[in-house]
Amino acid sequence: MLYVARMADDEVRAYGSVAPLKVGLLNDYPTRAGTDNDTLDSLRLVFDEAVASGLVDRPIELIERNVIGLPNGTYQAVEQGYDELVADGCLAIFGPYVSDNAVPLASHANRVAKVPNIILSGSEGALSEWTFALNNGSMPEEPVMLAAVMLGDGRTRIAIAYEASLIGKEYLAFAEKAYAAAGLKVVTTVAIPQVEADKAVAVKELRAADPDALVHVGFGHGLWGFSDALLAADWDPPRYTTTAFEMAHINDEWRHHLRGWIGLDSYDERNAVGQAFLDRFEARYGRRPAHSMPGLAHDVATVIVRGLAAARPLTGEGVKDGIEQVKLVPSASGAPGTFLRFGRFIRQGWLGSDYLIARRVLPDGSAHVFHSAPSDHIARAVGVESS
């Protein structure tokens, strides 16, 4: 007797044609703003360019999962979104963004052991066999970079406001070590909520230590109301923050709360690779977003398409192995000369001391501008005298 396997209608239609390669986007911090649209459009542009150039031989389908993770939502929503993308057949996943979600998800990704994901998280606790990082900064490195920036600005006495969260406490521990190594004196540390709250009491405590610079460390929501509280106290100290500074890209309200702050950012208008990508972005979409996410999304998508192209076989594990083959690819993010590279035991993809630079928001909150590059004073920050 002849047995004939029965296939579903969609399988019949796909037979003899080419199925798309599926890539997931796990956004655990949706802003419902232009930055999310810029991220999506950047990913699609790089994917389409990879197909048009022949780097990959079939279409790439982007599947989105927008969830409200920590700090405002729940980790469970992030894990569920990840599982749904794996079940949908994604070969790689971009996200999550936030360390509070990325750290516990790394263990889950290892247990699932099917799909590599690329995160923006700055916590090294999120790195694993299946989790790669094009980290939008990191807790160990950002304090060293910020110490170099403050040395260049002539600061010596530092007051730290840290968010009472996983991110804030991890930043604080590394900041205290980095500032001590750089010869900066931490005169006080004050805990603040990781969500919007009144800052009057915190500002009073910070000011009482007589610092010549104020530093905020944390995810960023703790910055809301800070500038208003400083204004109300008639205190205008030089003030610095981590890559929480990049929240200034979200909308005018965020820039209002960050007015006068200096912080770390991966957007650098001097980067020719990034500007060339924005030329192509503008030609396709009719706008030119001058912030970090288009360059970051370009770099993540570049790693993914090279992983897809090198995958043998075309499975999640094959893509993981393909990502490990990415070497010395010029990036759109960071200062000129920043590269992308991974390897068998390399899970952080930036190569270059200025993959982050310092920018500042103008006092009126209208725009952000280049401030300085950490490499100008990085030797002093790590206690090495330059020759």
- Write down the pLDDT at residue 387: 43
Question: Chain-centre distance of CA 29, in angstroms?
Answer: 11
- What's the predicted TM-score (pTM) here? 0.88
Q: Can you list the domains of the chain with their CATH numbers?
A: 18-137+270-351 (3.40.50.2300), 141-265+356-381 (3.40.50.2300)
**Per-residue pLDDT tens listing for the chain (387 residues):** 333 334 444 544 445 589 999 999 999 989 866 778 999 999 999 999 999 999 999 999 999 999 999 988 999 999 999 999 999 999 999 999 988 899 999 999 999 999 999 999 888 889 999 999 999 888 899 999 999 999 999 999 999 999 988 789 989 999 999 999 999 999 999 999 877 778 899 999 999 999 999 999 998 888 988 999 999 999 999 999 999 999 888 888 889 889 999 999 999 999 999 999 999 999 999 999 999 999 999 999 999 999 999 999 999 999 999 999 999 999 999 999 999 999 999 999 999 989 999 999 999 999 999 999 999 999 889 887 654
Using CA of residue 9, residue 14, residue 19, residue 20, what is the dihedral sign? negative
Report long-range pairs for 282-289 (Cβ below 8 Å, ≥24 apart).
284/41, 284/45, 285/41, 289/34, 289/35, 289/38
Using CA of residue 35, residue 41, residue 47, residue 53, what is the dihedral sign? negative
Burial pattern 104-124, b for ≥16 Cβ within 10 A else e, equals bbbebbeeeeebbbbbbbbbb
Bridge partners of residue 114, in order along the sequence = none
